[in-house]
Structure formats: structure tokens, C-alpha cells
Amino acid sequence: MVFEKDLNLDATELRLGLPGSSEESLRISNKRALPDMNDDSGVAAAKKCDQETAPPTKAQVVGWPPIRSYRKNSLQTKKTEAETGGMYVKVSMDGAPYLRKIDLKVYKGYPELFKALEDMFKFKVGKYSEREGYNGSEFVPTYEDKDGDWMLVGDVPWEMFINACKRLRIVRGSEARGLGCVV
């Protein structure tokens, strides 16, 4: 319809995927996505009948890896819970009686994150320098990355950080020494 073009609905349309990616490629990738757990036989049948000749990649082979639907659905539920509603990570602070949770997506960068942590746990983050880490404070912010390693917060670009960060821990002075804190 004429109106659609003028209103440029495409640009404002909500869709999955990075801005700028074409809708065509998204369509194709959605088609080859995993079968919906609740509609296995239907989708599987549809896929077979499509007679697509492109070789399926690991994630798209029906029934592989061979794990029971029940187990797959359980994992799926847990993953969905983890992924929906923002990027929540746990924050612990040495000596605090319980942990907190924050949504990393809410912050635009490190300064905002630190302000939020300072308010939450009533402490002050020191001044960051690449050479010396956090100077001037007994507390140092650290995070666990996807490899399970404990890293100093602030070394990598913000986007990289929020994608790698699994949880945060605010470490007390003496323990923080190995992470570049001069106390």
C-alpha cells in the first residue's frame, strides 16, 4: 500500500536482529531455527517436506544431540529465565549478609554502574587507572567472565564487559591485591 512506503514502517518495525540487517536474511535464519519444542512433529515434518538441499548445521539436525525432550525443555526453561528481562547479574560484596541483583543493560557505562554499586552497598570505588587498577579505596569491583576467571572491572570496553560478565563481586582490599589494586 502507498501509505506504508511513505511512513517508512520498515525503519520503525520491531524485529529481532541488529539494526541494518536485511529482513530477507532474518527470514531464512528463522526458518532454519530449532523446531519449537511444543511442535516437534509438525515442524520436523515440514522441514523434511521442504526438501531443502543445504546441509544442516549442528544446531539444526532433528533429534541431535540425543537428549530427552524433558531434559531439553528443562534446560530451555532455565536459559529463557536467564535471558529474558534484561541482563541480570548477581552482585556480592565481601562481608555483606546477602547478594543483590542488577540489570547491566540499564547502565550506559562504567561511571553509571559504579554509582549504582556505591549507592547499593554504601562504599566508594577508587580511581581507575590502567596501570594501577583502582587506587584510593579499600574496595575493588571484580567480575567473573564466561571462562570462569575473575577479572578487574574497567579494563575492557563497556559492551564487551556486559556481554562477558556473569556476576560481580566487590572485593575487600587485601584480597584485591592480585588484581592490580594498590592499597
Partner 1 sequence: MNYFPDEVLEHVFDFITSHKDRNSVSLVCKSWHKIERYSRQRVFIGNCYSISPERLIARFPGLKSLTLKGKPHFADFNLVPHDWGGFVYPWIKALAKSRIGLEELRLKRMVVSDESLELLSKSFVNFKSLVLVSCEGFTTDGLAAIAANCRFLRELDLQENEVDDHRGHWLSCFPESCTSLISLNFACLRGEVNLGALERLVSRSPNLKSLRLNRAVPLDTLQKLLMRAPQLVDLGIGSYVHDPFSEVYNKLKIAIQRCKSIRSLSGFLEVAPHCMSAIYPICGNLTFLNLSYAPGLHGNKLMKLIQHCRKLQRLWILDCIGDKGLGVVALTCKELQELRVFPSDPFGAGNAAVTEEGLVLVSAGCPKLNSLLYFCQQMTNAALITVAKNCPNFIRFRLCILDPIKPDPVTNQPLDEGFGAIVQSCKGLKRLSLSGLLTDQVFLYIGMYAEQLEMLSIAFAADSDKGMLYVLNGCKKLRKLEIRDCPFGDAALLEDVGKYETMRSLWMSSCEVTLGGCKSVAEKMPSLNVEIIDECEQMEFNLDDKQKVDKMYLYRTLVGHRKDAPEYVSIL
Site residues, partner 1 (CB under 8 A): 34-35, 40-41, 44-45, 48-49, 58-59, 61-75, 78-79, 97-98, 148
* CA distance to 14, 29, 42, 80, per residue, from 11 (Å): 9, 20, 33, 28
Q: How far is the CB of 85 from partner 1 (least distance, A)?
A: 17
Q: Which lies closer to partner 1 via its Cβ, residue 33 or residue 182?
A: 33
Does residue 173 contact residue 181 with C-beta atoms inside 8 Å?
Answer: yes
Q: How far is the CB of 64 from partner 1 (least distance, A)?
A: 6
Q: Which lies closer to partner 1 via its Cβ, residue 3 or residue 70?
A: 70
**Cβ neighbours of residue 175 under 8 Å, at least 6 residues apart?**
94
**Cβ neighbours of residue 181 under 8 Å, at least 6 residues apart?**
126, 132, 133, 134, 135, 140, 173
Q: Which lies closer to partner 1 via its Cβ, residue 40 or residue 138?
A: 40
Q: How far is the CB of 42 from partner 1 (least distance, A)?
A: 9
In this structure, what is the dihedral angle of CA atoms 106, 110, 113, 119, given to the nearest 10 degrees?
-150
Q: Which lies closer to partner 1 via its Cβ, residue 9 or residue 75?
A: 75
How is residue 70 annotated by DSSP?
A: H
Q: How far is the CB of 152 from partner 1 (least distance, A)?
A: 19
